[in-house]
A and B are shown apart, each in its own frame.
Chain A
């Protein structure tokens, strides 16, 4: 019940494309859903996060869509650029769960020029 399932494992798009990464969870107590971007040899950096009281959140080229009933959330990257090539992790946490983040397994995104 603590798992967060992320797909796809890897994704290749052309510059300007819109990669979509999906995550699903089981624990209905989760109330915070962040996405992290990680470059090789670096720590994860918070991209955008959403709470279950909204269905969509947009920050720059990054959008989270959230479907509470389906227990799914996804990351969309608009007008993707080669510099967006990185590994993306979704995560979830709850205040009642010591606020520990449960991470998905990650998606390696490659944006070709």
Chain B
């Protein structure tokens, strides 16, 4: 149980285009989902906390207009990278917390974004 999926697993796009990444909890409901960014050989950096039915809370330094987050249901959150540039190339990972559960977070497999 507690499986989180992400789609797509990798994406290559041209500079200036927008890319949407989906995060789904497959066998549980998640009131809270988190979006992370990870550069090569570095730790995970929390970008934002997404709560179902409300606006996401962004970490300091993360541009909310560039990284649009929508948490439309208890099983789906999306991250849209708008007007992507090469510096946005990174590994994006989501996690989900079980409704009424402990602090435990289950992570998705990640999405590799490459902006040309």
Contacts and interface: CB of A to CB of B under 8 A. Distances in A.
B34 A100 contact: yes
B114 to A, nearest CB: 13
Interface stretch (B14-22, B68-76, B80-88, B105-113): B105-113
A50 to B, nearest CB: 11
Contacts of A43: 4, 6, 93, 107-110
Nearest to A44: B107
Contact of A99 (B6, B97, B108, B112): B97
A34 B104 contact: yes
Interface residues of B, number: 25
A89 B43 contact: yes
B107 A36 contact: yes
Nearest to A106: B43
B106 A46 contact: yes
Chain A interface size range: 20 to 34
A51 to B, nearest CB: 9
Interface in A94-112: 95, 98-101, 103-106, 108
Nearest to A108: B41
Given A36-B107, A105-B42, A108-B41, 19 more contacts: A32-B104, A34-B105, A41-B91, A41-B110, A43-B4, A43-B6, A43-B108, A43-B109, A44-B44, A46-B104, A46-B107, A89-B44, A93-B103, A98-B57, A100-B46, A101-B34, A101-B103, A101-B105, A105-B43
The 8 closest A-B pairs by CB, nearest first: A32-B103, A43-B107, A43-B110, A43-B109, A103-B43, A44-B107, A105-B43, A99-B103
